[in-house]
Structure 1
Amino acid sequence: MTTNDREWRFLVAESETPEARRKRRESVGRSSGETYLGILRELSPGAACDRIQPADADAALSPGATLAGYDAVFLTGSPLHLYEETPETRRTVAFMRAVFASGTPAFGSCAGLQVATVAAGGSVRPNVRGREAAFGRRITLTEAGCEHPLLAGRPAAYDAPSIHTDEVEALPPGATLLAGNRVTAVQAAEIRFDGGVFWGVQYHPEIGLDEVAGALRRQADGMVEAGLARSRDDVEAYAQQVDDLHREPDRRDLAWRLGLDEQVTVERLRQTELRNFVESLARLGRAGMQVVGR
């Protein structure tokens, strides 16, 4: 894609705790923020990309930087539970409120959607229909979602990488529901608050299938406890198939066994929402992003 000749400034907000970052690097070689940095550099070559860890007590922007000085902020996934009052959740929610107040457009996946929801006055809870693991199935566009540029190019129903044990309970006032499915009512939404705008999804358009497999392995005990697998060996067998499909995305036999189509197996389609956000920003600019969907 192209983001014209100007140099874009992106900020990746990685709310994983240091321990979660360590485990993810051991599992797949990169933290959630590093995954975002990699894909943003592919989508917008030449963009200046910074990272901040807002859950950390010593988190700070680079000297001289301000939130308003960035073209967009990207919120990663995280194991934080936003319904718990902890120093990490308070710092992360306060950061997102500052992003809204700055007027800088923001995008987030998984916990990123949940952080924006709580920051704007909505609520989050544990998944009431059980965890969504590996892939969110039959995610369906709402009427508003069919018209919103975040989901441009998605079919009426699709699957996507999805790993979460919490969900949005209630969107904040003025938010727009864009997609949902049988397991998770809020799969995509636009949130406006305090002069800012956020586009987000509960699933993970930014991750590859290798990262799906890594997440399954990290959460193997939870998968067994939830009744989604009979043993850790069952989880490993499933994760191995996902890993194999990552290495050979054209293997129709693996896609068939896993029940996946090109919306997941083709990287460009899997990244649809993140691509749409960056392309909308390039096309409309900061001011235009504020009025999309109104």
Structure 2
Amino acid sequence: MPHFLIADSETLTEREARRAQAGKSSGETYSVTLKQLSPDCAIDIVQPADDDARTFLPDDITRYDAVFLTGSPLHVYDDTPEVRRQLAFMRAVFASGTPSFGSCAGLQIAVTAAGGRVRKMPERMEAGISRRIVATKAGQGHPMLAGRADTWDAPAIHGDEVEELPEGARLLATNPVTRVQAVEIRHDRGVFWGVQYHPELALGEIAVALQRQADDLVTAGLAESRDDVDTRADQIAALHRKPDERALRWLLGVDGEFADEDRRRREIVNFLAELSALDRRRKDSAVPSPAA
């Protein structure tokens, strides 16, 4: 029975706000997704950002088969106690050799912990749908993207992005809005796979996220008013309820890569399938990298 550790990147206030609007914290959303994909798994959820968070040492993490880092409103470039605790946790994950996966802020935490840089996106955001994602040469044939179409859309909402990848990272996917959409990082003894988008989220949760950040979207020029944001959120929520509805897919300009739950989760499914190859706890040599 696999044993997973989920690091909820949200603060207590953020978790409570998300539960009030979406019904679950980011960590609880990941837990539901993993239970659906791996019904026999055991899951622990921790909150590294909290003041009273347990300090994890590498040996504490080796008892888990994988670690997952969630998204959150966290800004990794802010030098705050919450950020420092998250980075210390991720460095322990890398040092443990336990395979790890993260989305959105989870990706940004791993990048920063390994020596890269994250920044606020200059005069833009990516919200609702990350469009026209394509694999790089290094990403073509990489197991994380196995089964992906030549071009795909994914759920996303973020105003920060990776500015510089750390040493030991390979850019696997990109799009016209945000250069780093998918990446593999080999740092210390660990292997991390991450995406800037949200394969773990149901479309209804993306709709709620848009409504929660409506003012930010208007300020960024993605919508003229909160009513416009509500309209787009309603369309995405409708697709959540009727993912096969051709009219809704046409209205949103998406296909099954975005609308179908099993295809939307492809990166997580592939990560779970590759855990034994990525596990470096009992082997010091790196697993062979796919051809660049």
CA distance in 1, matches of 2:4, 2:20: 26
2:142 corresponding residue in structure 1:
148
1:157 corresponding residue in structure 2:
151
1:79 corresponding residue in structure 2:
73
2:187 corresponding residue in structure 1:
193
Equivalent of 2:127 in 130, 133, 138: 133
CA distance in 2, matches of 1:98, 1:230: 44
Question: Against the structure 1 CA distance between its residues 262 and 67, is the aligned structure 2 distance closer, same or farther, given a 3 Å change threshold?
Answer: same
Q: Kindly report which structure 2 residues correspond to 1:213-232, keeping only aligned pairs within 5 A, or say none.
A: 213-232=207-226
8 A contact 2:120–2:160 mirrored in 1 = yes
- What is the SS of the residue equivalent to 1:256? helix
CA distance in 2, matches of 1:285, 1:92: 22
* Structure 2 letter corresponding to 1:56: D
- Displacement of 1:61: 7.2
Q: Deviations over 1:180-218 (max 9, x none)?
A: 111100000000111111000000000011011000000
1:39 corresponding residue in structure 2:
33
2:289 corresponding residue in structure 1:
293
* Structure 2 letter corresponding to 1:119: A
Equivalent of 2:233 in 226, 232, 239: 239
CA distance in 1, matches of 2:257, 2:54: 37
CA distance in 2, matches of 1:254, 1:160: 16
Gaps (5+ residues) in structure 1? Answer: 1-6
CA distance in 1, matches of 2:176, 2:232: 22
Output the TM-score relative to the length of structure 2. 0.94
8 A contact 1:129–1:183 mirrored in 2 = no
CA distance in 1, matches of 2:288, 2:32: 27
- Displacement of 1:285: 6.3
- What is the SS of the residue equivalent to 2:140? helix
CA distance in 1, matches of 2:124, 2:278: 39
2:89 corresponding residue in structure 1:
95
- Displacement of 1:27: 1.4
* Structure 1 letter corresponding to 2:19: R
Gaps (5+ residues) in structure 2? Answer: none
- Displacement of 1:290: 4.6
1:171 corresponding residue in structure 2:
165
CA distance in 1, matches of 2:104, 2:203: 16
Equivalent of 2:117 in 106, 116, 123: 123
2:107 corresponding residue in structure 1:
113
Q: Deviations over 1:130-187 (max 9, x none)?
A: 1000011001100111121000011121100010000000000121000011110000
8 A contact 1:150–1:276 mirrored in 2 = yes
The alignment covers a number of residue pairs equal to 285
8 A contact 1:75–1:108 mirrored in 2 = yes
2:259 corresponding residue in structure 1:
265
Q: Deviations over 1:57-82 (max 9, x none)?
A: 211279xx810111100000011101
Question: Against the structure 1 CA distance between its residues 90 and 285, is the aligned structure 2 distance closer, same or farther, given a 3 Å change threshold?
Answer: closer
Q: Deviations over 1:41-98 (max 9, x none)?
A: 1111111110110111211279xx8101111000000111011100000000010000
- Displacement of 1:293: 2.0
* Structure 2 letter corresponding to 1:132: E
- What is the SS of the residue equivalent to 2:215? helix
Equivalent of 1:209 in 171, 186, 203: 203
1:4 corresponding residue in structure 2:
none
* Structure 1 letter corresponding to 2:250: W
Q: What RMSD over aligned residues (CA atoms) do the two structures have, in Å?
A: 1.6
CA distance in 2, matches of 1:248, 1:224: 27
